[in-house]
């Protein structure tokens, strides 16, 4: 059994997608970021950086006591290694998957996050910041389009944790940042094809609705 600590953010959706893809048995603990629940001492004992997602695996890889893991990239790699799925054990495809996973963590996610703040949530509009993050988001979407023009998925032919990591962020960009990214999202047929293919996977559809599904059932 795995305890998942999450919220309705792209980083949170990564892990619920992965758990659904694996058919894992897991419980969902929603962290209300607006209420500051990420600063609760019990949560900080699991995720000291006060960010979601985090997991506690009660039957960890290699045995032993329950294992807590924070940071979405680390969780994806751990779950892939534990289950032997969505990350090749060796060879170029493994490194391509890890390469594009790191690209999302270091580039796409942080830049889109900053764009979301300055363009949509900041109490004061700062044009230079909006322009800066809009331009860089557009550049990154061009990088993604080029990759997907040559490959069905980010690591190559096969679906991997690289797709799982990137999909929620790109999906969020098309839905929530459609106005600031209108020009950048034009004429991106390969991103559109990839979004449709990945988004139509049943596990992705379900994972993207966590934790709303849990909240509705309570």
**How much is the pLDDT for 178?**
86
Domains annotated for the chain, with CATH where assigned, are 2-86+204-217 (3.40.30.10), 92-201 (1.20.1050.10)
Mean pLDDT of 26-48: 95
**How much is the pLDDT for 213?**
62
pLDDT tens column, 145-157 = 999 999 999 999 9
Mean pLDDT of 59-82: 96
**How much is the pLDDT for 198?**
98
**How much is the pLDDT for 23?**
97
* Residue 102 in this model has a pLDDT that exceeds 70: yes
- φ, ψ (nearest 5 deg) of residue 101: -65, -50
**How much is the pLDDT for 214?**
56
Rounded Cα distance, 97 and 94, in Å: 5
CA distances from 80 to 5, 73, 184, 201 (A): 18, 11, 32, 18
pLDDT band (50, 70, 90) for residue 52:
very high
CA distances from 134 to 107, 123, 185, 197 (A): 13, 18, 11, 26
pLDDT tens column, 147-189 = 999 999 999 999 999 999 999 999 999 999 888 899 999 999 9
* Residue 10 in this model has a pLDDT that exceeds 90: yes
Mean pLDDT of 27-31: 95
Mean pLDDT of 205-217: 75
Q: Is the dihedral of CA 111, 29, 204, 89 positive or negative?
A: positive
**How much is the pLDDT for 218?**
47
């Amino acid at each position: 059994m795995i305890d998942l600590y999450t919220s309705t953010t792209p980083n949170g959706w990564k892990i619920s997608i992965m758990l659904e893809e694996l058919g894992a048995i897991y419980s969902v603990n929603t962290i209300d970021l607006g209420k500051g629940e990420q600063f609760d001492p019990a949560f900080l004992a699991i995720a000291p950086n006060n960010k979601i997602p985090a997991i506690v695996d009660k039957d960890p890889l290699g045995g032993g006591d329950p294992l807590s893991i924070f940071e979405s990239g680390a969780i994806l790699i751990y779950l892939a290694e534990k289950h032997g799925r969505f990350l090749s054990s060796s060879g170029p495809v493994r490194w391509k998957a890890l390469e594009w996973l790191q690209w999302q963590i270091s580039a796409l996610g942080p830049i889109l996050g900053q764009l979301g703040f300055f363009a949509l949530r900041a109490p004061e509009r700062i044009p230079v910041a909006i322009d800066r993050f809009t331009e860089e988001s557009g550049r990154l979407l061009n990088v993604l389009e080029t990759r997907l023009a040559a490959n069905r998925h980010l690591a190559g032919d096969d679906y991997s944790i690289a797709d799982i990591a990137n999909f929620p962020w790109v999906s969020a960009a098309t839905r929530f940042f459609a106005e600031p990214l209108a020009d950048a999202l034009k004429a991106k047929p390969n991103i559109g094809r990839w979004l449709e293919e990945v988004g139509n996977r049943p596990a992705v559809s379900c994972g993207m609705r966590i934790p709303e599904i849990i909240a509705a059932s309570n």
